[in-house]
Amino acid sequence: MILSMTGYGRASAGNKKFVVDVEIKSINSRYLELFLKLPQLLQSKEYELRELIKSKIKRGKLSVVILLKKNGIAESEISLDEEKLKNYISLLKQLKKAAKVSDKIKLEHLLYSRDIFTTTLEEISDEEFEVVKNAVISSIDNLFEMKRKEGKELEKDLKKRIKLIEKKLDEIESEAAGSVNEHFLRYQEKVKQLLEDKIASVIDERLQLELAILAERSDITEECVRLRSHLKFFLEAVEKEQEPGRKLNFLCQEMNRETNTISSKTLSVGITHSTVVIKEEIERIREQIQNIE
């Protein structure tokens, strides 16, 4: 089953004391990159939350925002501790006097001290943290729902492109039938032209053998068989693998390798054109699978 790495999930949970809102956004990334924005109350729980999310999601660049509210007021909307503010101003005045600084105390100077601010929720119990975790899990479930929907669309597109490649491969195999003999005759004709009329009718047995070997090297049967095998494995991975992204990327590399070999060995203009179309489709597939988890 294919899952897109792009998605969005949101969920809320709460009790009589507070409500927690969780928002998760996911975009493409080769590995798992996790960015958490937490209220002050949950700073000490960051490791546990990271491990929870990592246990559910393997790849993608994730942005997770958690907001706590009490009586409709966000926990991030902090209140002022006036006593600490007075102490901080007194300390700044002492510093001014000691350093012989005449500048006035400004608002930006006070904002540097986070200790003068307090949150509406002082601490969180294990039971309350379970509410937060439930909200995170629900948001991940919603994220996966969107990832599955996008994954289905990706799967349809990939299968359509694989069918087009199979069609072009059928054309290549049909045109390649008897191509070795055709190449031998072409090589033989070129040799006759090079040897000119004086010995045009005489090509010895050794030369015939060398031309036959040269023509045999243009045979693309093995490459076509391997390419068809890669296409089969690709479809199987799309339908059966739990996390097919890396495997599909590897198969794309192998498909491209076989296609390049076919193109380099053939003398047929038709086969060359078909390989160009196949390589274009492989490149489009490669772009699409960058978004697969």
**Strand pairing category for 60-70 and 117-118:** unpaired
Contact 29, 63 (CB under 8 A): no
Contact 251, 237 (CB under 8 A): yes
Per-residue pLDDT tens for 38-76? Answer: 988 888 899 999 999 999 988 889 999 999 887 555 554
Give this prediction's pTM: 0.64
Calculate the CA 5 to chain-centre distance.
6
Question: What contacts 245, CB < 8 A, 6 or more positions away?
Answer: 59, 289, 292, 293
Q: What is the pLDDT along the chain (293 residues), one digit of tens a residue?
A: 788 889 999 999 988 888 899 999 999 888 889 999 998 888 889 999 999 999 998 888 999 999 988 755 555 456 666 777 788 788 878 877 787 777 777 777 666 666 666 655 567 788 889 999 999 999 999 999 999 999 899 999 999 999 999 999 998 888 776 555 555 556 556 655 555 554 544 555 555 555 455 545 567 788 889 999 999 999 998 888 777 888 899 999 999 999 999 888 777 788 889 999 999 999 999 999 888 87
In angstroms, rounded to a whole number, what is the distance separating the alpha carbons of residues 154 and 140?
20
Question: What is the chain's Cα-based Rg?
Answer: 34
- How many beta carbons lie within 10 A of that of residue 258, not counting itself? 22
